[in-house]
C-alpha cells in the first residue's frame, strides 16, 4: 500500500515543483539545474561508492560484520538512481542520502526495525589451518622441459 502511495505521490510532487520553480526562474534555468544535479550526483555517487567498496573489502578481510558497509552501499546506489531521475524532490532525497550522517541515521533506524535471528562468522584473522610440520607428501617427478634446438634462436631476418 505504501509503495502505491509513493508511486502516485512522488510524480505529483515533482510536477508541482517543476511548475513552481519553472514559473519562478524560467524553464531553461530549471532544466539546467536538473542536468547539473544529475552530473554532480553521478560524480558524488561514484566517489562515495568506491569508498564504500573499500570499507566492505576491509570488513571482509578483517572478518568484521559487513552489514553497515553493505547498507551504505545500497543507500548510495539508491541515491544515484534518485539523482538521475529528473526532479527536485528526488534530487533532495538523493543528495541527502549522500551525506554520511544521514546514511548512518537511516542505518540505525533500519537496524532497530529489523530483528536478526542468527549471524555467524569465523574467528581470528583467517580461517586457514596451520601447516603441520609432521605431514610429508612423497612423490616422484620427471623433467619435461623441451630441449632447445638450433632453430630456437633469432631468425636470419633479425640478425644485424
With respect to residue 150, please indicate whether it lies within any of the assigned structural domains: no
Provide block-wise average pLDDT over 10 residues at a time, the chain (160 residues): 89 90 90 89 89 89 85 92 89 92 92 77 54 70 75 61
Q: Are 42 and 84 in contact (CB under 8 A)?
A: yes
With respect to residue 99, please indicate whether it lies within any of the assigned structural domains: yes
Distance CA 123, CA 25 (A): 60
With respect to residue 97, please indicate whether it lies within any of the assigned structural domains: yes
With respect to residue 142, please indicate whether it lies within any of the assigned structural domains: no
* Cell numbers found for residue 35: 542536468
By residue range, what is the domain housing residue 107? Answer: 26-113
* pLDDT score, position 73: 92
With respect to residue 118, please indicate whether it lies within any of the assigned structural domains: no
With respect to residue 4, please indicate whether it lies within any of the assigned structural domains: no
With respect to residue 5, please indicate whether it lies within any of the assigned structural domains: no
* pLDDT score, position 75: 93
Q: State the burial class of residue 103 (Cβ atoms within 10 Å of its Cβ: 0-12, 13-18, 19+).
A: buried
* pLDDT score, position 104: 93
Phi then psi for residue 139, to 5 deg, are -160, 165
With respect to residue 107, please indicate whether it lies within any of the assigned structural domains: yes
* pLDDT score, position 76: 93
- Total domains, the chain: 1
- Full-prediction pTM beyond 0.85? no
Report the Cα–Cα distance between both ends of the chain, in Å, rounded. Answer: 82
Amino acid at each position: 500500500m505504501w509503495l502505491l502511495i509513493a508511486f502516485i505521490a512522488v510524480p505529483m510532487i515533482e510536477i508541482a515543483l517543476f511548475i513552481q520553480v519553472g514559473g519562478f526562474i524560467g524553464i531553461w534555468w530549471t532544466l539546467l539545474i536538473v542536468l547539473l544535479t544529475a552530473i554532480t550526483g553521478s560524480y558524488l555517487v561514484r566517489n562515495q561508492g568506491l569508498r564504500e567498496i573499500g570499507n566492505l573489502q576491509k570488513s571482509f578481510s578483517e572478518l568484521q560484520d559487513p552489514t553497515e558497509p553493505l547498507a551504505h552501499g545500497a543507500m548510495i546506489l539508491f541515491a544515484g538512481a534518485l539523482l538521475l531521475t529528473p526532479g527536485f524532490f528526488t534530487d533532495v532525497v538523493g543528495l541527502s542520502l549522500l551525506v554520511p550522517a544521514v546514511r548512518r541515521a537511516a542505518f540505525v533506524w533500519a537496524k532497530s526495525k529489523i530483528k536478526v535471528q542468527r549471524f555467524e562468522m569465523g574467528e581470528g584473522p583467517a580461517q586457514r589451518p596451520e601447516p603441520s610440520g609432521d605431514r610429508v607428501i612423497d612423490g616422484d617427478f620427471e623433467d619435461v622441459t623441451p630441449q632447445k634446438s638450433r632453430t630456437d634462436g633469432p631468425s636470419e631476418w633479425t640478425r644485424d
